Copies of this chain bind each other. A is one copy, B any other.
Amino acid sequence: MEIKVLKNILGVNEQIAKENRGLLDSKGIFALNIMSSPGAGKTSLILETIRKLDSEFKIGVIEGDIASSIDAEKIGAKGIPVIQINTGGACHLDANMVSSALKNLPLDTIKLLFIENVGNLICPGEFELGEHKKVILLSTPEGDDKPYKYPLLFRIADVVVVSKTDLLPYLNFNMDNFVKAVRTINQKAPIIPLSAVKGLGLGDWFSWLKGVLTGGKRNA
């Protein structure tokens, strides 16, 4: 049995992503698409950013997961506007899912929107959501060779966060090798090592974030 499909499914996604971006810009909201493997620390980084910056920049969050509302509950417990998207099996967020979520967020009060993608170091890289910047997390236990094996996300990253640096003493992760691997495919993205749980290196992350928040829209 055969069916007809639009060849241009990525083109359709791109169009909806542009509409999302237009809506965000019209409301003065800066949006980050955060991507990583499962359990690399995306939610922990968002929680630490909320703790530090929410009084300055009102934050909103879209949580993407195949199933469960575990992460949205953690964010919601901080009194932050949050929408959980359950993809029901899909391995990434797409612009249409984000469009639906935007309809249910208080866009007139939010200034900084985190879109936490499904935990997957591959597929989310192919779908624009309307974000201003792409944040890629790589946790130290995953190993310093990952940019060679999963090049797409590291290539499109606007910033690369190396998370869980508190575990470095117990691992064979070589930061110089990791930086070298990233630089083979991405010469520009800042690389920020940090540990959200232990509060290490967060200053560099906040500096980057404030830099793009105040200057990013003109450059984006």
Contacts and interface: CB of A to CB of B under 8 A. Distances in A.
Interface of A: 1-8, 37-40, 65-68, 70, 89, 91, 118-123, 139, 141-143, 145-146, 148-152, 164, 166-167, 170
Q: How many copies does the complex hold?
A: 2
Nearest to A11: B1
A206 B139 CA distance: 29
A2 B9 CA distance: 10
Nearest to A118: B122
Nearest to A142: B39
Contacts of A164: 141
Nearest to A8: B1
A122 B38 CA distance: 10
A164 B89 CA distance: 27
A140 to B, nearest CB: 8
A189 to B, nearest CB: 18
Contacts of A3: 4-5, 7
Of A37, A151, A166, which is in contact with the most chain B CB atoms at under 10 Å from its CB?
Answer: A37
Given A1-B8, A121-B119, A148 B39 contact: no
A122 B151 CA distance: 18
Contact of A5 (B5, B66, B67, B139): B5
Given A38-B142, A139-B141, 20 more contacts: A1-B7, A2-B5, A3-B5, A3-B7, A37-B142, A38-B146, A39-B141, A39-B142, A39-B143, A65-B149, A66-B122, A67-B148, A68-B148, A89-B152, A91-B91, A119-B150, A120-B123, A123-B123, A141-B141, A170-B170
26 contacts: A1-B7, A2-B4, A2-B6, A2-B7, A5-B5, A37-B119, A37-B142, A38-B143, A39-B139, A40-B142, A66-B122, A66-B149, A66-B150, A66-B151, A66-B152, A67-B148, A67-B149, A68-B145, A68-B148, A119-B149, A119-B150, A120-B122, A120-B123, A122-B123, A123-B123, A139-B141
